[in-house]
């Protein structure tokens, strides 16, 4: 399984993309700002 880090400040878009990518077999971690992305 491939892992992705999705970074976007639009939470609704992140949820949509996470759902779609998960259905396609990806393991997705979403972050909504640069600080949380650096910690991921």
Range of the domain at 11: 3-39
Task: Identify the pLDDT of residue 37.
Answer: 84
Task: Identify the pLDDT of residue 33.
Answer: 86
- Number of independent structural domains in the chain: 1
Instruction: Report which of residues 10 and 34 the model is more confident about.
Output: 10
CA 19 remoteness from chain centre: 9
Helix (H, G, I), strand (E, B) or coil at 29: strand
How confident is residue 8, by pLDDT bands cut at 50, 70 and 90?
A: very high
Alpha carbons 36 and 20: distance in angstroms, whole number: 22
Helix (H, G, I), strand (E, B) or coil at 10: coil
**Is the Cβ–Cβ distance between 27 and 1 less than 8 Å?**
yes
């Amino acid at each position: 399984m491939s892992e992705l880090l999705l970074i976007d400040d639009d939470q609704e878009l992140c949820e949509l993309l996470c759902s779609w990518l998960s259905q396609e077999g990806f393991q997705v971690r979403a972050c909504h700002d640069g600080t949380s992305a650096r910690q991921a």
